[in-house]
Structures are given as structure tokens and as C-alpha cells.
A = this chain, B = another copy of it.
Amino acid sequence: MAASPTNDAGLRVSLEVEIPSDVAYIERVVELIRHPCAELAYNAHQLALNVPVALSEAISNAILRANNEDPGKRVFVRADVDALRLVVDVQDEGEPFDIDDNIRDATDPDNIEREDGRGLFLMRALMDRVERFDANGAPAGNVVRLILTRA
């Protein structure tokens, strides 16, 4: 169902998804968050590129880098979507990491043939802002926040 733009202004959606540390869940979490963005008439490129790719990167880092696929650890994804912007928090149960220490230019000739290391680069390229802070409250962990203004 297409969103009717005249009614967007009043609609505000919050979504929380909790998953085990298993990459098999990523695609569905992406779908769950993309859907309200589609209802709110986010632009086709944001729906097909920015949102799914950046989200998939943040969730897979939480599962693989922070939680080390530990089946006892979980990933919490919270999204707030309205007609202005999408804010997604991806929370893991891992050790703190320094996001500013991880600014690698994936397009540098030295890096271009690397298999890994494009995750944060893509999040930064595809979102308006990418931040990291400590989860407040149990369980401890990182929160990676992605912010995208609706286009």
C-alpha cells in the first residue's frame, strides 16, 4: 500500500526488534525497518540502498564483531521513523570499540582489493550521521546510531 503524502506528517512509528547473534536474521530485521520507511514514502533510493545496506552493516558488526556470534548474546535494534527522519540504534553486548579509530578509506588503492573493512565506510557514506555510544543500562554494550533524513 502506498503512503499518502498528505497524511505523513502525523505518523510516528517506533520499532524494536530483538534477535539472537545469528546473521540469518539480518535480512528480516532490514525488512521490518524498511517497511515503515516505505509507508512514510521515503524515496526509492533510500529504500533500496541507504537504509538496507547501512542497517545490514551495523547489525552484522553487532553480531560478528561485538557478540562474536555467541548464541547467549543478543542484538537489539530500535528504530524511530517519521516524515522527517529515520533514527536506528543497533545495540550489541560486546566490549566498547572506538569508532573514530576505524576511519579507513575503502577507496584508497591500498584498500580497494581488501575483502573486508567497508562496513563503517558504507554506513558513513549512506547515512547522514553515524555515532557510537555506550548502552545505558544492562546489558552493557555499544550502541551504533544511524540517522537518515527523509528524501
Check: A70 CB closer than 8 A to any chain B CB: no
Q: Decide: A14 and B12 in contact? CB cutoff 8 A.
A: no
Check: A45 CB closer than 8 A to any chain B CB: no
Count of interface residues, chain A, beta-carbon cutoff 8 Å: 25
Q: Decide: A11 and B1 in contact? CB cutoff 8 A.
A: no
Bound: A25/B6 CA distance, A: 10
Chain A contact residues, CB within 8 Å of chain B: 1, 3-4, 7, 10-20, 22, 24-25, 27-28, 31-32, 35-36, 39
21 pairs, CB–CB < 8 Å, chain A vs chain B: A3-B28, A4-B24, A4-B28, A7-B24, A7-B25, A7-B28, A10-B20, A10-B25, A11-B19, A11-B25, A12-B19, A13-B16, A13-B17, A14-B14, A14-B17, A15-B15, A15-B16, A28-B39, A31-B39, A32-B36, A35-B35
